[in-house]
Each structure stands twice: as C-alpha cells, then as structure tokens.
Structure 1
Amino acid sequence: MQFIQGIRYALKNTLTLQHLDILIDVVELGTFSAAAEKARLSQPAVSQQIQQLERYFGARLVERCGRKVQPTDVGRLVLQSAHRIHDELETVQDAVQPFRAGSAGRVRIGTGATACIYLLPPILGDLSRRIPGLECVVRTGNSPDIQRLLEENALDLALVTLPAAGRSLETTPLFTEDLMAIFPAGETPDGPVTAKTLAARPLVLYEDAGHTRLLIDRWFQDSGVTAKPVMELGSVEAIKEMVAAGLGWSVLPASSVAKEQGGGLGAVPLVPRLTRSLGLMVRRDKRLTAGLRQVIGALEKGLRG
C-alpha cells in the first residue's frame, strides 16, 4: 500500500514538458478552455496539470483577473524559465538533426592492414567528400583481434577475412579477390605457379596470426606441400619490398599489387586458384544509426561494385 502511495505521490510531483507547455498556453491564450482546445485535452485535464505544477513549485502560478487568466509573480518566473527551456531544446534539436540524418557522427571501423591500405581509401574518401561531418575512425589488426573488439563494442563494424563467425555477430559477404603469386620482375615463371613451384623458392609470407595466412597454408597443404617461409612479416608493404629486392616470392591479395605490376614486381594467379573473401560484420544487437548506415552503404557499394 505504501509503495502504491509512493508511486502516486511521485507522479503528482513530476515535472514534465507538457506541464510547462500547458502553463504557457493558459497564460498566452488567457483561458483554460482555449489551452485545452489547443492541446486537445479536456478543460479539467488542463486544470489538473496546472494544479500539479503548482504543487511541484509549492506556489500559485496563475490567477483569474476577470475573464482572463494571468500569471502570478511566481508564475512569471516559471514562465521565463519555461521559455528558456524550450529555446534550449530547440537548440539541441538543431544540433541533433545532422546525426539523425546521417550527415554527422563518428563511426569506428576495424579491418586488416591490406584492406585499410588498398580498399578503404577511395571509399572513405568519397564518403568524406559527400558527408564531411561524418567521421570515420579506422583501426587495423588481425581478423580475430578485430572480431574481439567488435564483440566488446569497441568498434561499430568490421571488414574481415572470411570465414569468421560469432554468436553475437552478423556477417555479410562483400568482396572476393584472388591471392596471387608475387615475384621479382626479372624472375617471371615459365609455367603455372603451383604449390610445388612456390615451395622451391624462398618464401616471404604473412605472419601466421591472420586468416589470410591460414588460407595460404591450407592451399599448400591441399597440394601435399608444407610452406617454409624464410621471412614472416606483418606488413604487406614490407613483404613487397623484400620480394622486389629479390629476397623471395610471396602470396598476396590482388588488390595489394595491382599498381606494382610492370615495375619491380610481377604477379600471376595461383594454380589451383586461391581466393579470399571479405565480409562486413556488426553486432546483432547493434543499433544502426543513420551515420553507421551511410558507412555500411558506402562499403557495400564500393566493394560489391
């Protein structure tokens, strides 16, 4: 019983924006009936709201002067504050509107170094020109690390090498590319580059912590060959420099060497063909803001073509 009475007391002593709106309308329109008509309420309901407001402040806020309702001294003070509150809310609404429209905000993206260097720049550059108020923050790492950060909500979305799965995550495949045999420009192979062809060369491969390296190792294993790299590096650019210097061959995504072919590096498809797929991952319970939807749309358009 005391609990119910406590709720009733709290409800009677709660100040809402509607209370302030009713007070403004009663004073500006001069009658309870006119305020009730504007608010589409009954006149008793308007009277009750004014009474609740007076109980909240502990003072009379309005009084009748003939047929008109006018504010008391306390009522004028409350009205001044009510107008300031409305002005502040309008300012906040104006500030929030770009975020609601997706033209402002901050989106945290996680991905691997290769995608960050070779795939994201034109997509995010175009997005930045179209929506300059939308900030995209990119964090790089191996797919398992990026996935963990996504699960912890330290990232808003991730672009990772597939397969990748998590109970709390939803994955959408976006992009597939060939993994290519990379070699110094002066060492063009005479025939198809197979696992045995590569195994006979010094190999400069990715570090073994990422999904792409797992795909490469499985490709060798499926051919009955074990890859024994002489170098394992975490940077695609470092791998390319080592290969261009004649220190070995490598296997890299086609996107990472598209501009280098014909220079210090050569690239040909592997036999049998080896590909990797990238997928977009978000938490299943993630609330997609307008800004986040803009980024997802840009990635889908840019990577799916």
Structure 2
Amino acid sequence: MALNFHQLHIFHTVAEKGSFSAAAAAMHMTQPAVTMQVQTLEEYFGTKLLNRSTKKIELTESGRILLPFARRSIELMRETDMEMARFTHKLEGRLQFGASNTIGEYVLPPLLVPFGRQHPDIAISLKVMNTTQILDEIARHTLNFGLVEAPVVHPDVISEAVMQDELRLIVPTGHPLANRKSVALEEAASYPFVLREEGSGTRQVMEDEWKAKGMDPRSLQTVMELGSTGAVKSAVEAGLGITMLSPSSVKHELSLGLLHAVSIEDASFKRQFYSVRLKSTLLPISAVAFLNFLRERYEQTNKQGSKPSRKRKGEE
C-alpha cells in the first residue's frame, strides 16, 4: 500500500478541526468515510495517530510528528497546481466562484472575455455579493473560492493577494470639491457621505484607513447606506452626498463629467483584491488557472503603466 496524499489531507483536517464530524463537514464527506481514511493511514504507518478516548480528538506523539509533514504536503500540492496551471491549456468543467460588488461588476467583466477565449470549455458561474455572503457560501461548499476587496482573518480561510486597487473620493458635478485635485482628510469628512452597507469590502477599507489616521468613521455625516455600488453612484450623482469608490467603478460617469474623482492628501486608500478559500479544500485546476491569469494580467498592466512614455521626434 502506497502513501496517499488524500489520506494525509484528511488527517490534517481532522487534527485542525479537532473532530471527525467537523472534518467531514469541512471536506464535504461522510464521517464514516473520514474515519476509514484515517484508519487506513494508521495501518500504513503501523501506529495510532489520534486518541479517540475523549470528546475532542487529540494527537498521539506520532500524530504530532506527522502533522507538519502533512501540512507541507498540502502546501506543496497547492504550489504544484499553481505552477502547472500555467501550462494547462485544455481545461473544462464549471468554475463556481463569488466576487464582491466592485470586482464582480466592474473589474472582472473585461477580463472574463480573454480568459474564455483561452479556455472555451470552462463554464463560469459568478455570483456578485458582499464579502460576508461570499464567506458563507464558501463554508457551505457552494462556491470554490471568492474574490474580495479586503483581507479576511478567519482560522478556516486562506486569503491571498491577487490584484491591487485604490479608492478615491467621488463627488458630483457642481460640488465644492469637484474642481479640486486633492483635499485634506478632515475637510472631506466635513461633507455628507453616501456609503456602501456594512460588510462590504469597500467600506471596510475606507474605515480602516480612517481609523489609522485617528478618526472615527462613525463621526461621518452618513446620510445614506446602500447595498450596491450602482446605487451609491446614483445617489452621489443626484447630489445626496459624496463617497469613496474605486475609479474603475465610475469610469463611465467620469468620462461623461457626471462625477469627479479627488485624491485625499494625507491618507492612502490603496487596497489589494484577495482570493479567499477554505484551508481544508484544494482548488480545482481551473480555479488555479483563473487566479494565475488574473495575477499575470495585473502584472502586465503594472509593467505597462510604469514604462516611461517615449517622446516623439521634436518634443523636448
């Protein structure tokens, strides 16, 4: 009998979760199947790996020694998938993932087209929702992974940076700040705000930077909280207040002069877009290929943006 990676993965999950039932739920398996795989692994090594005499599973001495090797094997498998996905051209199946509002509605659509051309046999199922909802669906195994606008700190979740973005102050035409290139944070805070709902990544990034500058976000004159970026844009365009959004989500309105983007002088609202997934699951190769595609596209865009423009003949 050969050593089986799947059994190591199950053993690692049982050890992390502290019970067979919790591991079974996390891995979308039945509890008897999880128990059988751990028993088979114990038979392979010829030693008990887990003590089952208490309500909570405890590692034996041999189990404690095996655990870091199991963890390393899982990480190595993930790294292997990431590297080999670069060379995988024939992929098929359904890719199910979630994305928070800004990413799903404004950042991803132009990227899905070239990815679809590269992998025409992958059927993409994308749900646009806020970060809290995405995590709930990942925990229920109805989504493979999610793309969110702020890091997620959770013992069962892996969060990895994929792309970068920056929020700016968005104001309507005719607003006192509309013709300003930049404004101080305290001055911006003196105007009424229209904000995304609590739980959205955009709002979290804004509030985190506000707190870092010693200001309480609750002190803002929040006249309205809305559940989508589109609704926020409409409210700001109507003159109900100003907001903080990604310029990528207001490109059309900026080009038409309906809204204006203003920098905040003494604060940085740069943020990463993160992929999130359960520690206890391995992503399908199609998901790994898609995340690699996003990283490579972002790197290419950054390199192009950082190149100095060539002066035409005759220019000084």
| Fold-level similarity (TM above 0.5) | yes
Which deviations, in whole Å up to 9, do the C-alpha atoms of 1:143-195 show, x marking residues without a partner? 12212322332111111122213333222212221110001123225463233
Structure 2 residue matching 1:260: 3-state secondary structure: helix
Distance 1:280 1:102, change over 3 A: farther
Structure 2 residue matching 1:153: 3-state secondary structure: coil
Distance 2:108 2:92 in 1: 19
Unaligned ranges ≥5, structure 2: 1-87, 301-316
Aligned to 1:69: none
TM-score between both structures, scaled by the size of structure 2:
0.60
Distance 1:236 1:193, change over 3 A: same
Distance 1:131 1:224, change over 3 A: closer
Aligned to 1:219: 209
Distance 1:285 1:304, change over 3 A: farther
- CA displacement at 1:251 relative to structure 2: 0.7
Matched, 1:183 2:171: yes
Which deviations, in whole Å up to 9, do the C-alpha atoms of 1:209-264 show, x marking residues without a partner? 22321232233343435212101111111111121222211111122123432420
Q: Which amino acid aligns with 2:260?
A: G
Aligned to 1:195: 185
Matched, 1:293 2:288: yes
Of 80, 87, 105, 2:93 maps to 105
- CA displacement at 1:102 relative to structure 2: 4.3
Structure 2 contact 167–270 (Cα < 8 Å) conserved: yes
Structure 2 contact 146–275 (Cα < 8 Å) conserved: yes
Of 270, 273, 279, 2:268 maps to 273
Structure 2 residue matching 1:243: 3-state secondary structure: helix
Distance 1:264 1:142, change over 3 A: same
Aligned to 1:20: none
Which deviations, in whole Å up to 9, do the C-alpha atoms of 1:79-105 show, x marking residues without a partner? xxxxxxxxxxxxxxxxxxxxx964310
Distance 1:273 1:106, change over 3 A: same
Distance 1:292 1:205 in 2: 32
Unaligned ranges ≥5, structure 1: 1-99
Matched, 1:132 2:120: yes
How high is the sequence identity, in percent, across the aligned residues? 26
Structure 2 contact 163–294 (Cα < 8 Å) conserved: no
TM-score between both structures, scaled by the size of structure 1:
0.61
Distance 1:304 1:168 in 2: 29
Matched, 1:148 2:136: yes
Q: Which amino acid aligns with 1:206?
A: R
- CA displacement at 1:295 relative to structure 2: 1.7
Distance 1:295 1:215 in 2: 25
Structure 2 contact 181–262 (Cα < 8 Å) conserved: no
Q: Which amino acid aligns with 2:264?
A: L
Superposed CA RMSD: 2.2
Q: Which amino acid aligns with 1:248?
A: G
Structure 1 residue matching 2:182: 3-state secondary structure: coil
Q: Size of the alignment, in residue pairs?
A: 206
Q: Which amino acid aligns with 1:196?
A: E
Q: Which amino acid aligns with 1:147?
A: L
Structure 2 residue matching 1:231: 3-state secondary structure: strand
